[in-house]
Amino acid sequence: MNKKHTFYFGFVLTTIIGLQACGTTNEVLDEKPSEVIVEVMDVAFKNVASGNLQGDGAEGINEGGVVINSQEEWTSLMTKMNSVNEAVKEQSIDFNNTTVLAYFDQIRGSGGYTVEFASVSQTSKSIQVQIKRTASDGNDIEIMTQPYSIVFIEKTDKTVVFINQ
């Protein structure tokens, strides 16, 4: 064989071996995309109560979100909130159609702080609650407070995630 034929033979052989090593299967074509598009929808909510607890933590309510799906849970929360001062008026709630969401801020050393529900949205698996905190401007009375906000949403059994903005 001359040099030219040897070169072409080597080139063809290398190409065949290279293509064989790459190989393809039907599995690659049948794979589902790894990226899943999640649809997020707004959830309507009704503000029920907001303000400040003033018991310097005597109410026994920790910072964070609370999901209430029964009259017993609601009565327990109201009892705690009203143990020091009248924070929330008793209400009759249809827990067959309503879920109550409450958020309690940390205990603060002065007034002027607030917390509110900025938005509530849902995916197929969870409810996401955006919490907006507003800080004091520094000119407020020095008193121990714990800002809170309570809303009603349509009944849900989904996991609720509270997110601070």
Question: Where does the pLDDT of residue 3 fall: very low under 50, low under 70, confident under 90, or very high at 90 and above?
Answer: low
The pTM of the full predicted model, rounded to 2 decimals, is 0.75
Q: Which residues of 102-136 are buried (b: 16+ CB within 10 A; e: fewer)?
A: bbbbebbeebbbbbbbeebebeeeebbbebeeeee
| Residue 97 is assigned to a structural domain of this protein | yes
Residues 126, 160 contacting (CB under 8 angstroms)? yes
| Residue 11 is assigned to a structural domain of this protein | no
| Residue 139 is assigned to a structural domain of this protein | yes
* Six token digits for residue 92: 């009759």
Nearest to 73 by CA among 45, 101, 103, 47: 101
Q: What is the per-residue DSSP string for 95-145? A: TTTEEEEEEE---BSSS--EEEEEEEEE-SSEEEEEEEEE---S-S----B
Decide if pLDDT at 33 tops 70.
Answer: no
| Residue 21 is assigned to a structural domain of this protein | no
pLDDT at 17: 57
3-state secondary structure 3-60: HHHHHHHHHHHHHHHHHHHHCCCHHHHHCCCCCCCCCCEECCEEEEEEEEECCCCCCC
Query: pLDDT by residue (tens digit) across 138-159?
Result: 777 788 899 999 999 999 999 9
Query: pLDDT by residue (tens digit) across 82-131?
Result: 998 888 887 789 999 999 999 999 999 888 899 999 999 999 999 999 99
Question: Where in the sequence is the domain holding 133, given as residue range(s)?
Answer: 41-164
| Residue 3 is assigned to a structural domain of this protein | no
pLDDT at 57: 87
pLDDT at 155: 97
| Residue 109 is assigned to a structural domain of this protein | yes
| Residue 32 is assigned to a structural domain of this protein | no
What residue type is 86 in one-letter code?
A: E
Residues 103, 115 contacting (CB under 8 angstroms)? yes
- Total domain count for the chain? 1
Provide the β-strand partners of residue 115. Answer: 133
| Residue 13 is assigned to a structural domain of this protein | no
pLDDT at 141: 77
Decide if pLDDT at 25 tops 70.
Answer: no
